[in-house]
Structure 1
Amino acid sequence: MVSIIDFRSSVVIIGCFGLIYTGCSPPIQTLEIYNNGRPKLVHEYKVISSSLGIDSITVKLIKYYRNGMKHYQQEIMNNQPNGKYYSWHPNGVKFAKGKYLNGELSDKWAWWGKDGLPDSIRTFRKEMLHGEYIDYFSNGKPHKLMEYVENKKYGYYKELDEKGKKVSVGEYRNDIPHGHWIWWKNRIKTRELTYENGLKNGPFRIYDKLGKKKIIGQYKNDKKDGEWNWFSDQKGLDSLIVYNNNQYNGEYNIWHANGNQAVKGDYNNGLKNGEWKWFNKKGQKDSIKIYDTGQLFGFVTIYYDGRQPREIMTYVNNKLHGIMTSFYRDGMTESEITFSNGLRSGSYKYWDSEGNIEEKGAYLKDKLHGLVLRWYTTEQLSSSAMFSSGKLQGLMRIFSPSGSTMKEGYYFEGLPVVIFEYYENGRFRRILAYRGNEIIQEKVWTAIGVEITTPVLGIRTKSNVHSNGNPSYECTYKNNSKHGIEWNWGEYFDLQSLNIYDQGLLVLKRTWAEPGIPKEDILFPGISKQIIIGPYSSAD
């Protein structure tokens, strides 16, 4: 019976031969040969008799390569590896050297490369790593050196580079880092750290490529604890932060590269708390914010140059709440916007740099809502519009710099219903009727009131006149339904009412109190989505 044990590419053969010999000279027997006649496997054996009358057989197995060089040599006692073991590369250079005890790896073992340079050293006890442990680079210089106890790293640890310079030094306990550890690169210390039973505990240091301190801090039970400092070449101390249980806790400071402070504040259990200040590179205040348990709470001021505020606002539970005021650099107010729970809700105003009002209106849940007015720089009203939840709803008017009405639009849920365009002299320029975004009728006039509308196939007009010959009524039809514009004039051509129809549906009713002065506008009169716009002057 033959068993084969493979260990680092060597072969151990254990034979049970059942032979008993006597005498002092060990017999030699060739078990296998190559086809070139050279021996492949040879054994030497001797029988040792004890005083108790018990015989033991010791066999030395020797295996050869085909070229006649030894492959390995193994001692066998009582049918198991016992004693020294040697092996060689095919070129005759030693490959491995070690020892077995009762079939188990024992004591120091060493391995070499084909060039004869050391490869590794291991020490064993009962098949377990126990004692010295070394790995080598291909140039034969030590790479890692450490100690093992019962298959666990225990004791010193050292790592070197290929030139023999230190890379790291420390120790292990029960296979986990313990004690003081140091790392180097090109002979310059890069890091120091202390472990306790595998957890970072104690001082911590990081150094730059010149060996100057870069970070200084400490750990407690694997978590950052106490004061930590960051350094730079330009300014020395770069940051100072206090930790507790791996959380920011206490003073927090950051500096610019020129040495001026950049940030100053405090943490409480990892959360920003109290007044925080930010500074520009010149050391001037950039902003001031108030925190309560990590959330913005109270006034926030942002500055132009440390003195003149650019924005002042209020936060509640980390959300903008109240009026946010913006300023021009000279201190003039630029805007006021009302917030509620982080959303624009309420009135707002904008001014130009001369202090003239530019726009005012209101928001509801971050969407324009209600009347929005805009002005020219001359303080002349430029437009007015009604919004509902961010969509145009009702009347929108645009004015010329001289104050003349140039356009009136009637909208429902953001879509146009009717648009009136005017000349500066007040005459109609164009009327557009819509269904959604589709134009269903268009009327066009010259500046002197002459209609130049292009006729549309399928549209007919019905009209009447007063006794003096002036028109009294006019309406366009599609099939038998009113479709387009319906006009009613007084005896002297004064417009009294104007209605817009969409295939029989009245979509806009407009009346005049007196010539040139509209009284009331009603969108979709008489149905559920009716909108009454009036009195007309309310848009101003």
Structure 2
Amino acid sequence: MHNKLITIKIKYMRLLSLIILTLLITQVFAQETPEIITKKFKNGKTESQGQMLYGVEEGHWKYWDKNENLIQETDFHKGTINGKLIYYYKNGKKQNEGTFFLGQQHGLYKEWFENGQLKMSGKYTYGIQDSIWNFWYDNAQKKKDIDLSNLSEKYINYWTKNGNQTVNSGNGYVDLKYNNGIIKEHTEYKNGFPNGNYYANYENGKIFTKGVYKNAKRIGTWQSFYKTGEKKDILNYNNGENTIWYKSGQKKMKGHVKDGKKNGEWTFWFSDGKKQMTANFIDNKKDGLVTKWFENGNKKLEMQFAADKKNGKASWWLENGKLDIEGNFVNNIQDGKWTYWRTDGHKGNEGYYKNGKLDGEWTWWYKNGQIWKKGNYSLGIKSGEWTYYFENGKIFKTGQFDDGKETGLWTEYYENGNKKLEGNFDKGLMNGKWTSWYKNGKLKSKIDFKNNIKNGTNIYYHLNGNKQLEETIIDSLRQGVYKTYFPNGQINISGTYLNDKKEGTWEIYDKHNQKISEEHYKNGRPEGKWMTWHREGTVKSEINYKNGLKHGDVIYYDSNGKIKLKAIYKKGKLISKQANNKQD
């Protein structure tokens, strides 16, 4: 009763808050006029009709089926059911009716048979069935009165369909029957709750289960049977042995109860008689070794318990008999050494836990048995030296972790043992000079980093050792000299950046050191005269730019130096063009 009152008080406070919020919002909504909405089926008949306000249902709504039968009426407030909710049978009579407040069922509820006769009535309090509920048969005969207060079902009165009262003021019995007249359930009541003999039958009249209740709780020995009469179980709820059988007669479970609690060894079997599980209990709590098996007879699990908590060694196996996992628990938490195996029987990884977190050295292996990686944890966080390996056993990379982040010098290798990459981390970010090499050991690049971003002078090399590219990046922007080279050492591109934009003169050469173009930039845009050359060294083109647009003479030459085309531009627009001595 105390818990019920607490629940109702909490819901009352929530309800009060919702009322205040509703009143505040209603002041705003009251200024608007709802829009009447009618939805239609494909056959043109009305499916629903009601009001919408701010895109959600407001007020009274009606719903019909495709045959124009009214099937539902609902009151809404701001899209939430608020007020009455009524459902109808196809014959037009009410099926049930209830009231809601802001989406929660609250107040009287009634339900009817299709013939219009009242079936039940009662009350909801903040979504919970409450107080006295009354029930009737379809012939108008009273069926039962039950009290649903205190979150329990308490019988007050019960009548059969022909009017015979079998429970009066909470005392008596209830017989529920199949259509063939066979008793389905027989329950004796005292002070509104099951007290005394109980039994249930199959539809063929054979007993299903029987036992005794005391104050709604099962006591003593209960028995159940299969539909064909075989024993199903004997369960002692106070003291004694509990046994469950398969239909074949093979035991399924056996264990002992003392003072209503499991005590001693409990055993479970598969249908073929092989053990499925054994466990020891002390006062309903697992204590000692718990063992499980697969149906093929191989062990599945061994685990130690103390006071219903995992404590001590635990082992798991695969169905083929190979170990899967082995470790240790302390009060349900992983602690100590743990080993995980691959399905082929080789170790997959192994290490230590502390308070449920990885702690100490951990090692992982490849399928061939070679170490994949090895390192340390501190309460679940990577710490100290970590080394990663190739499958051939040679080191792949190595370095230090601090608080789960890479720190200090890290080195990466090729499978042939030559260095591939080396540099420093600071709190997981690349910082300082990072150097990389080709597989043959020759230098590949030198790159400066600041917090994982290139920053400083960066040089890249061709496989033969000659420079490939030279650039400077400051705060993610290219600055200063920029040069690229051919493998033979000759310059390919030479220019300057200012704030990541091309600036000044840019020259492009072929691998024979023959200039093929010269460009000029200002703030990243073409400016001044641009020139290109033929392979023979003669001028190929002259183009004038201003503010990024063609402006002035634009001339193209053939390899003999003769003009092929001449044009004049002004601010990017063609003014005139002459080719082959013809005026356009």
TM-score interval, normalised by the smaller of the two chains: 0.5 to 0.7
Aligned residue in 2 for 1:159: 292
Is 1:170 the counterpart of 2:303 in the alignment?
yes
Structure 1 residues 365, 195: closer, same or farther in 2, change over 3 A?
A: farther
- TM-score, structure 2 normalization: 0.61
Aligned mates of 1:39, 1:358 — CA distance in 2? 100
CA shift for structure 1 position 217:
0.8
Aligned residue in 2 for 1:326: 460
Aligned residue in 2 for 1:433: 569
Structure 1 residues 37, 189: closer, same or farther in 2, change over 3 A?
A: closer
Is 1:84 the counterpart of 2:214 in the alignment?
no
Partner of 2:335: helix, strand, or coil?
Answer: strand
Contact 1:325 1:337 in 2 (8 A): yes
CA shift for structure 1 position 442:
3.9
Counterpart AA for 2:206: M
Is 1:73 the counterpart of 2:210 in the alignment?
yes
* Mapping of residues 172-187 of structure 1, within 5 Å: 172-173=305-306, 176-185=309-318, 186-187=320-321
Aligned residue in 1 for 2:388: 254
- Aligned residues: percent identity? 24
Where does the alignment leave 5 or more consecutive residues of structure 1 unmatched?
7-14, 19-30, 45-57, 455-540
Counterpart AA for 1:87: S
Structure 1 residues 35, 247: closer, same or farther in 2, change over 3 A?
A: closer
Partner of 1:369: helix, strand, or coil?
Answer: strand
- TM-score, structure 1 normalization: 0.65
Residue-by-residue CA offset, 1:379-408 (whole Å, 9 max, x unaligned): 232112233454434443222234433223
CA shift for structure 1 position 309:
0.5
Contact 1:407 1:419 in 2 (8 A): no
CA shift for structure 1 position 145:
3.8
Aligned mates of 1:166, 1:137 — CA distance in 2? 13
| CA RMSD, Structure 1 to Structure 2 (Å) | 3.9
Aligned mates of 1:387, 1:354 — CA distance in 2? 28
Contact 1:235 1:258 in 2 (8 A): no
* Mapping of residues 418-497 of structure 1, within 5 Å: 420-424=554-558, 425=561, 427=563, 429-431=565-567, 433=569, 440-446=574-580, 450=581, 452-454=582-584
Residue-by-residue CA offset, 1:188-239 (whole Å, 9 max, x unaligned): 1111121222222110111223433221211112221111112235353332
Ranked by relative contact order (alpha carbons within 8 Å, sequence separation 6 or more), the top structure is 1
Aligned residue in 2 for 1:501: none
Contact 1:393 1:411 in 2 (8 A): yes
Aligned residue in 2 for 1:350: 484
Contact 2:254 2:266 in 1 (8 A): yes
* Mapping of residues 172-251 of structure 1, within 5 Å: 172-173=305-306, 176-185=309-318, 186-234=320-368, 236-251=370-385
Counterpart AA for 2:567: I
Aligned mates of 1:41, 1:423 — CA distance in 2? 109
Counterpart AA for 2:423: K
Aligned residue in 2 for 1:377: 511
Match of 2:233 among 96, 100, 105: 96
Name whichever of 370-379 and 351-360 sits farther off: 370-379
Counterpart AA for 1:165: N
Residue-by-residue CA offset, 1:427-463 (whole Å, 9 max, x unaligned): 3613153666xx54341222xxx2x233xxxxxxxxx
Aligned mates of 2:283, 2:507 — CA distance in 1? 86
Where does the alignment leave 5 or more consecutive residues of structure 2 unmatched?
1-143, 147-151, 154-165, 170-174, 189-194
CA shift for structure 1 position 144:
4.1
Contact 2:546 2:571 in 1 (8 A): no
Aligned residue in 2 for 1:515: none
Q: Which has the higher helix share?
A: 2
Contact 1:91 1:114 in 2 (8 A): no
CA shift for structure 1 position 361:
0.9
Residue-by-residue CA offset, 1:162-196 (whole Å, 9 max, x unaligned): 12211121134565533221111121111112122
Aligned mates of 1:290, 1:112 — CA distance in 2? 68
Aligned mates of 1:356, 1:409 — CA distance in 2? 26
